[in-house]
Amino acid sequence: MKAINLAIGAKTFTAALSDNQTAKEFAARLPLSIKMTEMNGNEKYHRFDTNFATNDKIVGNVEAGDLMIWSSSYLVLFYKSFDSSYSYTKIGRIDDASGLAEAVGAGDVEISFSVK
């Protein structure tokens, strides 16, 4: 699995990418700095102009630190854990999500992704 960094303000998180085609396509776009939009008080998302190859599954439980693709073109970073009936393709997970909710804050946020 490939490791990546997520820089959010002064805080940097390390994540391990999943071993799937979607994660490989995401890694090929790095480095990348994007604005992620607040949604539902538990996630940030960014819509890409192009689709990823996906293999969506109902995840049931989302964990803080999960990185997933929804609807083929939306990158979603979850900063709180909760139950979900939505389908996603998991592309990775932050190794230690403590402090993630504070780092992303309540509104939209700029996040830089890079290969570690």
Task: Determine if the pTM surpasses 0.95.
Answer: yes
Total count of domains within the chain: 1
Tell me what the pLDDT averaged over the chain comes to. 97
Mean pLDDT of 65-81: 98
Mean pLDDT of 57-73: 97
Indicate the burial class of 83 (C-beta count within 10 angstroms; 0-12, 13-18, 19 or more): exposed
Q: What is the DSSP letter of 96?
A: -
- The Cα–Cα gap between 82 and 10 comes to 27
Mean pLDDT of 68-73: 98
Q: Which helix (H) or strand (E) holds 60?
A: strand 57-62
Provide the residue range defining the domain that includes 31. Answer: 3-115
Residue 1 has pLDDT above 80, yes or no: no
Domain containing residue 45: CATH number: 2.40.100.20
- The span from the first CA to the last CA of the chain, in angstroms, equals 11
Only one residue has tokens 């073109």, namely 73
**Cβ within 8 Å of residue 1, ≥6 positions away:** 16, 17, 18, 19
Going by C-alpha positions, the residue among 25, 93, 24, 86 that lies closest to residue 56 is: 86
The neighbour count for residue 59, using CB atoms within 10 Å, is: 18
